[in-house]
Every structure is written in structure tokens, then in C-alpha cells.
Structure 1
Amino acid sequence: MKTIRDVMTGDVKLVEPGQTIREAAQLMASADIGSLPVRENDRLVGMVTDRDLALRALAHGLGHDTPVRDVMTTAIKYCHDHEDVEKVAQNMAELGVRRLPVVDREKRLVGIVALSNIAQSGDSKAANSLLDGVAQPH
């Protein structure tokens, strides 16, 4: 049985709440990613996604110098690195999310698990479960 540590992406790019949304967008563009965990004083305090930038900033006319804290999501869902891939995939499907931060037993950020990680895990049941949960029309 595979754990999340086996399939997650460990090279996590981070931003801080005081950084600008422009900096966040540039980091997303250069790393070809759609979300960034937000850290403050060695703690995970939020997530900012490309969707947040579009809907919470651009759509409301906020400028590129707007702090990340003004558009980030603060209700953070996460999983543990020792959890089973299938269990996490089911949880992600129930939450309707395509990615989750991964923490260790001390709740330190150690990675990100995304739909693509689950899809490539070799666990077709987990991949199908997650896909069914997040690939729903709005």
C-alpha cells in the first residue's frame, strides 16, 4: 500500500502573506504551478491559487501590489505524509479539492499532493475516486 510520501511532490514553493500577488503569480508562472502554500513564522497559514488571483483580485480590480493575505484561503485542509493514497484521494474527492498540502507528524510542511500525483500513483481506484469527486461541472 502506497503512502502519500511515496507520491507527493516534495519541492514546495512558498510565499508569505506580505508578499504581493504579483510575486505570487510570477512564482506560479516560473514554476508552472497553480497554487502556493502561504507560510508565516514557520507555520502554514493559508493557500493562494491561480483561481484566487483571478476571482478575488483581478475580478475585484485589486492591484498587483495587493498582499497575498488579502486573497489567500485561510481554512487550510491538509493530509499527513504517512496516510494511505486511497484514503487521501477519497478525502480530496469529498472536499472537492485538486491539491492538498502534506505535513509530517510534527505538522511541518513536507510536500504537496495533487490530482496528477494520485493519477500517476498506479492506484486506479484512488485516481478514479478523486477524479469523480473533483471533475464535476459547476
Structure 2
Amino acid sequence: MVTLEAEEVYALAPYTKTLGVEFEEIAAVGVRARRAHDLSLSTVGGGFHGGALMGLGDVCAAVCAALNGPVGAAPGTVESSTHFLRPAGTSVVATARPLRLGRKTVIEVDVHDEKGELCTRVTQVVTAVVPKAP
């Protein structure tokens, strides 16, 4: 069984730290992380840039897939779909959960704003990239 702590994720995927992701829960059944808004992640009009929301979703999906994959494998995104449902507020919480486990794992990530409103949904197909034996 694969386990990960936040500091391990930051070391394995430095973009996670750069994006400012703060993990609240890291478990095979679900990954939850938050990100407060700041101007560095703004788009026209001052709201969260879609790429920041997609990045948060991707990070949570990758961690969730890794926790459900074989030991020593790295998650590799095969396909990602993002639906922007409403503008995000001053902070967001992303919750990833596995929909299907197997050779190709499907992870769904819901991103809610500080009012609990669903603002973004990310669905990813992830494969386990297993290193080749020497």
C-alpha cells in the first residue's frame, strides 16, 4: 500500500509547493487540499486563473492515483477534462476521489469556493508509470 505525507508530495512534485497547495487530507479514498487566492494566480478581472484551478485539480488527482497505484509507480495523466461552473472566490478546496481503479484509473476532483459552491470539476484518466527493470 502506498502512503504519502504532504512534505513527500512537495519533494516529489515541486510544482505543488510552487502552486501553494496545502493538503488537508491525503488518503487512498480521497485527497483534499486548499489554496487561497492571491494576485499571482489572477486572471483578467482579478479572479482565480483557470490554469491555477486546473493545476490544483491535477495535483490532487495525481496524489489520489498514486495512493491507489502499485508501489514504486508514478502517476501519468493520460487525459484531463475541466469544467468551469462558476467563478471561484477568495479560497478554494479541492477534493479528489477515485471513480475507477485499474490499469487506467479515473479520478474526479471537485473544487469548491469558500461558500461551499462547486466552481470547477476536473476528471482525469491516470495510468501508473512503472520504472523498467535495469
Q: TM-score, with normalisation over the residues of structure 1? A: 0.27
| Higher strand content, 1 or 2 | 2
Of structures 1 and 2, the larger Rg is shown by 1
Q: TM-score, with normalisation over the residues of structure 2? A: 0.28
| Higher helix content, 1 or 2 | 1
